[in-house]
Chains A and B, each alone.
Chain A
Amino acid sequence: NAGVTQTPKFRILKIGQSMTLQCAQDMNHNYMYWYRQDPGMGLKLIYYSVGAGITDKGEVPNGYNVSRSTTEDFPLRLELAAPSQTSVYFCASSLNRANTEAFFGQGTRLTVV
């Protein structure tokens, strides 16, 4: 049982480049989330999805885009990478609303130089 799988684990981007962080879950969870973790700041929600075809902004959505074409996949797109997007990104899923525990991927450490 893979749970939540994120790729890549590490990436270095140059300013202005774009990339997609992949996230897949095999638990048939409806809800999926993207968080970023900055030192001493906890986790901040970027985007979330309540099901295929439905996405919504979280606390810090600027500079990112998402899509949810299937229940399993929830990719995060960075357009025109900026140094402020240097962070660790976590994808998570939960069965229903955020009153059930979330399962997290192993994270993607992104550095923008």
Chain B
Amino acid sequence: AQKVTQAQTEISVVEKEDVTLDCVYETRDTTYYLFWYKQPPSGELVFLIRRNSFDEQNEISGRYSWNFQKSTSSFNFTITASQVVDSAVYFCALSDSNTGNQFYFGTGTSLTVIP
């Protein structure tokens, strides 16, 4: 069965600190896709990144970086030099080739950046 675990329910950091949000997934498929979404206080979900299971290269986009490790079934998200605007709920999600008609979401991590 597919499952996404975000063990960190809430995290608070002081502005300019680095923070890593953890995501652990379960799937029996060899082909699958992982996503991160951001939900700011305004409520909408904003797509951040997609990764397929064959591409284990880490990715950096500005202050954001993602570490994909198949060996530990993890797809962690790091924000460097956090800013108040990073305060949001972050969701990790999974889809795979067997059940490619839906996304399985984790329960989300609420990040608060304190000025």
Q: Which residues of A contact B (CB under 8 A)?
A: 31, 33, 35, 40-45, 48, 50, 56, 58-59, 88, 90, 92, 97-107
Contacts and interface: CB of A to CB of B under 8 A. Distances in A.
Contact of B102 (A40, A41, A45, A100): A45
A102 B44 CA distance: 12
Contacts of A48: 101-102
B2 to A, nearest CB: 11
A40 B95 CA distance: 20
B47 A58 contact: no
B80 interface: no
B21 to A, nearest CB: 14
Contacts of A42: 4, 91, 105-108
A103 B35 CA distance: 12
B43 A88 contact: yes
Nearest to A33: B102
Contacts of B106: 42
A95 B108 CA distance: 24
Interface residues of B, number: 24
A22 to B, nearest CB: 16
Given A40-B107, A42-B105, A42-B106, A99 B47 contact: no
A99 B44 contact: no
Contacts of A44: 105
The 10 closest A-B pairs by CB, nearest first: A98-B95, A97-B100, A104-B45, A42-B105, A42-B107, A43-B105, A101-B47, A99-B33, A45-B102, A106-B44
16 contacts: A33-B102, A42-B106, A43-B103, A56-B101, A97-B100, A98-B95, A98-B100, A98-B103, A100-B50, A102-B47, A102-B103, A104-B37, A104-B46, A105-B44, A106-B42, A106-B43
